Amino acid sequence: MNKVCVTIDGISLYVPENYTILQAAKEVNINIPTLCFLKDINEIGCCRMCLVEVKGAKSLQAACVYPVSDGMEVLTHTPKVMEARKVNLELILSNHNSRCQTCSRSWMDCELQALANKLSVETVRFEGEKKLLPLDIGPSIVRDPNKCILCRRCVSVCKNVQTVGVIDLVNRGFNTRVAPPFDMSLSDTPCVNCGQCINVCPVNALHEKSDIDRVWEAIYDPGKHVIAQTAPAVRAALGEAFEMPVGTLVTGKMVTALKMLGFDKVFDTDTGADLTIMEEGTELIDRIRSGGKLPLITSCSPGWIKFCEHNYPDMLDNLSTCKSPHQMFGAILKTYYAKKNNIDPADIVVVSVMPCTAKKYEAARPELKTEGMPDVDIVLTTRELSKMIYDIGIEFPELGDSDFDSPFGNASGAGVIFGSTGGVMEAALRTVSDLLTDRSADNIEYEEVRGLEDIKVAAIQIGDLKLRAAVAHGLGNARKLMEAIRAGEQFHFVEIMACPGGCVNGGGQPLQRSDFRNWTDYRVLRTKGLYREDRSSYIRKSHNNPSVKKIYKEFLGAAGGSKAHELLHTHYIPRDNYK
């Protein structure tokens, strides 16, 4: 790549010729403020917060989209620049619903609030018209048009990254809004509830539907036995809500905090992940041996499942019939666990702590019930759990470590890596390899399915079988892979996760402001935490989990058997483009 010489605030430097001024300034530790900009997602220069002076240009330029050129001279903080930024921000604030005291982003990271502080905006000189529009409240996501600042980040991630495209700009001029077509509710569109729109929203125009009050009500009910189960990706991100470094593993502190909140039992959803591998691995082996429908496609991600139901109904038979791990575990808790402990299943409240907003929608699906009761009663996001911990004054970073409760305290490292793209595939390969060859493989590090490449393809030699596998993360990549399969590309096993990077980047994870996420891939840091826990695990294969072995021996019978199918498997629904 050729380099060009630019001068920024008197500092000369050489940068690649495809850089923008924003990128070049970052090289010399000059952080130009942004609001609409998100690297590789939304690079449109519409908010005008990143205005700079370019020598020779007739007007101020947006640094996030203005390309560098050889000999360019840039000034980033002249009086003209600073006043223009401040005026633009005040205009945004003039009609913003600024009820900060009751906004859930005020205790976390509101980028609008942070920018107002950075630009020393203490008063707003303009009085804009404030409208009071109704909230759009769905099963997972709440859309508040009164908070929207029209940055278009949500539009870009939904349309260009996830290729779902259920929101866009509607109307013109002052009446412009971000909304679904015809002002429909998100619930009446092919929205998959992935929550990536929440992850990129700089304010509180999009947030999860809170179930915190429902959880407190259950905990304070003496007649209820309330169980928390926690997904693997939560432990690699929860600490961020308490200013701990990104990717810090907080497994033990998380368990301690949950017990302090008042949960009767705290279990690890990784046990459910190990059950999933037993069932899904058995399903894959059966399909390979019997000439069944291939490829088998994983069914752990509810956002991906709904996307498939809308867009690829002709390929639903390729989906594994396995419930997702937390739903499987919920079914076990309300049957096996309830019986072992002489508890009426109607008195058990299963609360899943998930990195995912789509799990809220999933838990309410009528297909996911056991004996007429939902497998999972309530889903909390990682953010909601952090809010509960914060609200009662727990000093989270200072907590000691606790262990998950018996009898499900020994999940495998394979279950832990479910939280990252490629992790379900790798966990399955560790078990399928042993079951197909009837011996324990020493090498269980399947590096070829790891990483953030859009689509990973690997050929894995297992005995006499060369198993062809593919992994995609993010629904735009899923669409590309599914189209390739439709066109005839052959695979045995396919893993798809709805969220870019996998569950570590789920729509319910702690939010990261753009001034961090534009320059640091937090997905990598969170993923490293999960693989560290996997490497330190005594058990690293799902089929070696003693808790899972005991469940099959005492209750389920054989993996893939009739009892397992009754409790741990489900079916899917072809959907039209509206619901």
What is the helix, strand, coil percentage profile of the chain, to 5? 40, 15, 40
Burial degree of 294 (CB within 10 A; 0-12, 13-18, 19+)? middle
CATH no. for residue 136?
3.30.70.20
Q: Is the dihedral of CA 112, 117, 122, 125 positive or negative?
A: negative
What is residue 579's predicted lDDT score, i.e. its pLDDT? 60
Q: Return contacts of 447-452, CB within 8 angstroms, 24+ apart.
A: 449/422, 449/425, 449/495, 450/420, 450/422, 450/426, 451/421, 451/422, 452/421, 452/501, 452/521, 452/523, 452/524
Instruction: Exactly one of 280, 309, 384, 495 is catalytic; name it.
Output: 280
Decide if 240 contacts 254 (C-beta within 8 A).
no
Task: Look at residue 113 and tell me if it is in a domain.
Answer: no
Instruction: Exactly one of 201, 300, 322, 499 is catalytic; name it.
Output: 300
3-class DSSP state of 116: helix
What is residue 174's predicted lDDT score, i.e. its pLDDT? 84
Quick one: 169 and 231 in the same domain?
no
Give 142's strand partners: 137, 207
Q: Which amino acid is at 453?
A: E
CA of residue 250 relative to chain centroid, distance: 18
Decide if 2 contacts 14 (C-beta within 8 A).
no
Q: Where does 372-474 have alpha helices with state H?
A: 382-391, 413-416, 423-437
Residue 43 designated active-site: no
Quick one: 9 and 66 in the same domain?
yes
Quick one: 242 and 205 in the same domain?
no
What's the token pair of residue 367? Answer: 């297909």
Task: Look at residue 109 and tell me if it is in a domain.
Answer: no
Instruction: Exactly one of 359, 360, 456, 541 is catalytic; name it.
Output: 359
Regarding beta strands 225-230 and 348-354, do their DSSP bridges make them parallel or antiparallel, or are they unpaired? parallel
Final residue belonging to a domain, choices 209, 229, 259:
209
Quick one: 200 and 244 in the same domain?
no
pTM, two decimal places: 0.95
Task: Look at residue 97 and tell me if it is in a domain.
Answer: no
Residue 4 CB neighbours (<10 A): 18
Q: Is the dihedral of CA 109, 113, 114, 115 positive or negative?
A: positive
Instruction: Exactly one of 367, 483, 554, 566 is catalytic; name it.
Output: 367
Residue 536 CB neighbours (<10 A): 11
Instruction: Exactly one of 320, 352, 433, 542 is catalytic; name it.
Output: 320
Quick one: 191 and 227 in the same domain?
no
CATH no. for residue 15?
3.10.20.740
How many domains does the chain divide into?
3
What is residue 14's predicted lDDT score, i.e. its pLDDT? 96
What is residue 104's predicted lDDT score, i.e. its pLDDT? 83
What's the token pair of residue 557? Answer: 């019978």
Task: Look at residue 397 and tell me if it is in a domain.
Answer: yes
Residue 27 designated active-site: no
Question: Which residues span the domain enclosing 37?
Answer: 3-92
Quick one: 492 and 397 in the same domain?
yes
Task: Look at residue 508 and tell me if it is in a domain.
Answer: yes
Task: Look at residue 528 and tell me if it is in a domain.
Answer: yes
Quick one: 228 and 179 in the same domain?
no
Final residue belonging to a domain, choices 183, 209, 235:
209
Residue 320 designated active-site: yes
Residue 362 designated active-site: yes
CA of residue 381 relative to chain centroid, distance: 10
Instruction: Exactly one of 194, 503, 533, 542 is catalytic; name it.
Output: 503
Burial degree of 223 (CB within 10 A; 0-12, 13-18, 19+)? exposed
Quick one: 491 and 389 in the same domain?
yes
Quick one: 323 and 190 in the same domain?
no
CATH no. for residue 306?
3.40.50.1780
Quick one: 48 and 185 in the same domain?
no
Instruction: Exactly one of 208, 240, 362, 384 is catalytic; name it.
Output: 362
| Residues lower than pLDDT 70 in the chain | 107-108, 577-579
Decide if 191 contacts 141 (C-beta within 8 A).
yes
Residue 340 designated active-site: no
Quick one: 289 and 197 in the same domain?
no
Residue 283 designated active-site: yes
Quick one: 169 and 31 in the same domain?
no
Regarding beta strands 72-75 and 3-8, do their DSSP bridges make them parallel or antiparallel, or are they unpaired? parallel
What is residue 108's predicted lDDT score, i.e. its pLDDT? 64
What is residue 130's predicted lDDT score, i.e. its pLDDT? 81
Task: Look at residue 100 and tell me if it is in a domain.
Answer: no
Residue 367 designated active-site: yes
Instruction: Exactly one of 53, 208, 283, 309 is catalytic; name it.
Output: 283
Q: Return contacts of 156-161, CB within 8 angstroms, 24+ apart.
A: 156/38, 156/41, 156/42, 156/44, 156/200, 157/38, 157/41, 157/42, 157/196, 157/197, 157/199, 157/200, 158/196, 158/197, 160/41, 160/476, 161/41, 161/196, 161/474, 161/475, 161/476, 161/500
Q: Which amino acid is at 470?
A: A
Give 51's strand partners: 62
Task: Look at residue 51 and tell me if it is in a domain.
Answer: yes
Final residue belonging to a domain, choices 45, 67, 92:
92
Give 79's strand partners: none
